[in-house]
Structure 1
Amino acid sequence: MAPETIVNTPTAQLLATHFPDVPVRGELPGHTGLFDCAKAERLLGWRHDET
């Protein structure tokens, strides 16, 4: 899990191509990941290491 994907294609386009019948709730700008990591950061102090 990560806050952003490593794929060159924007997330919204990936979803439209591979999962066209799945409703999208909220905005997915750029390469936004599909999982919210905020709770892990808030409760555990975990942050994705981008190295």
Structure 2
Amino acid sequence: MPSEDTKERIAKVIEVGRTVFHYAWVPMIIYVGFTRSNPQPSLIKLISPLA
């Protein structure tokens, strides 16, 4: 049976993982779409709506 220390560590790892996943999801989707598109747009067109 896991000790309390092990349970606390697992809970902390899951909490940190959820936070990383939460903040990295949208930038990852944008990056994948940017790198896989053909033709690949310039970075300024990705950032600026007026370019």
Q: Would the TM-score normalized by the shorter structure come out above 0.5? A: no
> Quick check: which one's helix share is greater?
2
Q: Which has the larger radius of gyration?
A: 2
Could you tell me the TM-score, scaled by structure 1's length? 0.24
Could you tell me the TM-score, scaled by structure 2's length? 0.24
